[in-house]
Amino acid sequence: MADFLTKREDNYSQWYNDLVIKADLAENSAVRGCMVIKPYGYALWEKIQAQLDKMFKATGHVNAYFPLFIPKSFFSKEADHVEGFAKECAVVTHYRLKNDPDGKGVIVDPDAKLEEELIVRPTSETIIWNTYKNWIQSYRDLPILINQWANVVRWEMRTRLFLRTSEFLWQEGHTAHATKKEAEEETRLIIDLYSDFAQNYMGIPVLKGTKSESEKFAGAIETYAIEALMQDGKALQAGTSHFLGQNFARAFDVQFLDKTSKLEYVWSTSWGVSTRLIGAIIMAHADNNGLVLPPNLAPIQVVIIPIYKGNSELESINSAALEIKAELETKGISVKYDNRDTHKPGYKFAEYELKGVPVRLALGSRDIAGGTIELARRDTLTKEIVPRESIGSRIEDLLKEIQINIFNRALQFRDDNIYRVDTREQFLEQVEKGGFILAHWDGTAETEEKIKQETKATIRVIPLDSPEEEGKCVWSGNPSVRRVVFARAY
RNA sequence: CGGGGUGUAGCGCAGCCAGGCAGCGCGCUUCGUUCGGGACGAAGAGGUCGGGAGUUCGAAUCUCCCCACCCCGACCA
């Protein structure tokens, strides 16, 4: 059917690239490594934003905005943080252009060199903690629970639309607390919130856990992550929440007087998810006909397509369609009525399938005469004829059903692709096939590094709920007390 | 930064080896017939052949230089 898309089974990454472009989500821009997010892709991001924003607000967070530019000196204050980001920072060195005296065009004005270079934020901990320093003197000033929606820049070597681009959109939460306990609770609260969002809105099951020492955020004491499994068996980190301890407070000298008049460093967290989530939605649900969007995040939940011969038929279909649209909209369902006369129904069917619209209604003279509507669902590609009077309630139920169905499908796939592995041979074999590998690990960075070098698999998470279990490290044979999750990852 | 590849109409490509009117498919415009799974016919529009220099009567094609992008590695949400 969709023969303009590369088949998923032929070349998964080409299929993904084709899909992003053909479904009109985004395209490569004139700037290397940076994408243009097109209206349909941005609409999806807006749905993600709106829901997360609601969830952040419901847990007491507020939004604010900090600068894009960060003085270079701020980066040198937290050693691990510098180490982690130094290699991928864009640097602003000048503030003016001038006409090229030798000819056409403009050049950077050498007289306009900045005293101190500015870093384009790869993340905002430093500028934010420099600012918080001025906001916090007393325990009465705490907690600070701020989120910002922003763009960040990380100069990536290799980029892929949504999954890894040099500039991307995200939200970053930065909180300040009086106690360690409170900051730890915040970190856990957010990773649970992300997990809830991934499962109930994106329809993607995730594994929740902590990162190993080498995989955690630069500057964090502990990094919690949710990890999803894509259809090709590779893992995708879908969200992270960091317990930063007092690292940034010490680096930026942020102290407060507690209730006992004792001077203390502030405890902090940071957490984020990015436009990468769009990549996750694609790679978790889409098929050879195109996107399959979860109803809870689909920009268009229902599309209505008229089928008619001549203008007289169209008129009666128009009025019926608009009635149905209005009825659905009163139930909070987003509906598009596509009565463009420039494309045939078959074209539109294929187009909305490609774009992953969960439910499609087709309305023709036969339906008008018989008081029915043809309803097609994207997740199963099945059709049914529904009586006109029950369409509202049918769709209301169906959207919920589709949401659950695609989650269950992804869950089934995920569960079918978790493997308990106990020997190096099994590990090597399974890593080639993909999936999450549950294996014993001796807990050392050396072993982790060796495994990464030889298999390209990394520890995705150390699951929060993993039971203690005596075993031997799959690589070194040294004793281990629990299994961790390995996979090749995006 | 290494290795490979590609730049020709909006998109996808052929033409280059062996120099001689710049082509094909899709898309686009107009008109007509169509319309329940990507319609058909007819007529059109659309080009700095990535850029520069050279060889030649003549360069998309040969030579040299430059630029950009893509893929594969090392780095990463």
| Tens of pLDDT, residues A282-310 | 999 999 999 999 999 999 999 999 999 98
DSSP A57-87: HHTT-EE----SEEEHHHHTTSHHHHHHHGG
Q: Is A388 (CB) below 7 Å from strand B?
A: no
| Confidence class for position A1, pLDDT limits 50, 70, 90 | very low
Q: Tell me the one-letter amino acid at A308.
A: Y
Q: Which nucleotide is nearest to A385 (CA to C1')?
A: B36
CA angle A324, A327, A332 (to 5 degrees): 125
Confidence of residue A99 (pLDDT cuts 50, 70, 90): confident
Q: Which two tokens stand for residue A18?
A: 């084709």
Q: According to the model, what pLDDT value does residue A208 have?
A: 96
pLDDT at A486 (0 to 100) = 95
What is the arithmetic mean of pLDDT over A130-151?
98
Output the six-digit token pair for A412: 């089934």
Query: Cβ of residue A217 near strand B, that is under 7 Å?
Result: yes
DSSP character for A345? Answer: H
DSSP A349: H
Q: Which nucleotide is nearest to A349 (CA to C1')?
A: B37
* SS3 state at A239: strand
Half-sphere exposure for A434 (CA within 13 Å, toward CB): 16
Give the nucleotide nearest to A458 (CA→C1'): B76
Between the CA of A2 and the C1' of B16, what is the distance in angstroms?
34
Whether the Cβ atoms of residue A476 and residue A443 lie closer than 8 Å to each other: no
Nearest-CA residue relative to C1' of B75: A157
Tokens 């969007």 locate to A293
Taking the C1' atom of every nucleotide in all shown strands and the CA of A225, the nearest one is B77
Q: Which of A298, A290, A396 is nearest to A47 (CA)?
A: A298
Q: Which residue is nearest to nucleotide B73 (CA to C1')?
A: A158
Give me A54's structure tokens.
């609601």
What's the Å distance between residue A151 CA and nucleotide B50 C1'? 32
Dig out the tokens for A264 from the structure: 């203390």
Q: What pLDDT shows up at residue A399?
A: 98
User: ipTM above 0.90?
Assistant: no
Strand A483-487: give its sheet, edge to edge: A62-63, A144-153, A167-177, A267-274, A235-245, A222-229, A207-210, A458-463, A483-487, A436-440, A418-421
Chain centroid to Cα A82, Å, comes to: 25
Judge contact between A117 and A95, C-beta under 8 A: no
A340 touches strand B (CB under 7 A): no
Find the Å distance, CA of residue A106 to C1' of nucleotide B55: 35
Within A 343-382, residues with CB less than 7 Å from strand B: 344-347, 349-351, 353-354, 362-367, 374, 376, 381
Listed in order, strand segments (DSSP E) in A78-166 are 91-94, 97-99, 106-108, 113-120, 144-153
* Strand B contacts in A 20-49 (CB under 7 A): 22, 28, 31-33
- For A406-422, the pLDDT digits (tens) are 999 999 999 999 999 99
AA identity, residue A132: Y
CA distances from A427 to A230, A422, A457, A477, A487 (A): 19, 7, 10, 13, 10
- Tell me the average pLDDT of chain A: 93
Q: Which domains does chain A have, with CATH numbers?
A: 12-285 (3.30.930.10), 302-402 (3.40.50.800), 418-487 (3.30.110.30)
Chain A 126-165 residues in 7 Å CB range of strand B: 154, 156-160, 163-165
Cα-Cα end-to-end distance for chain A: 29
Residue A352's nearest CA partner among A412, A291, A309 is A291
Nucleotides of B under 7 A from a protein CB: 1, 34-39, 68-77
Question: Do residues A217 and A243 lie in contact, with contact meaning Cβ atoms separated by under 8 Å?
Answer: no
The nucleotide closest to A347 (CA, C1' atoms): B38
Round and report the angstrom distance from CA (A156) to C1' (B69).
Answer: 16
Report which of residues A435 and A14 the model is more confident about.
A435
Each residue's pLDDT tens digit, A385-401? 999 999 999 999 999 99
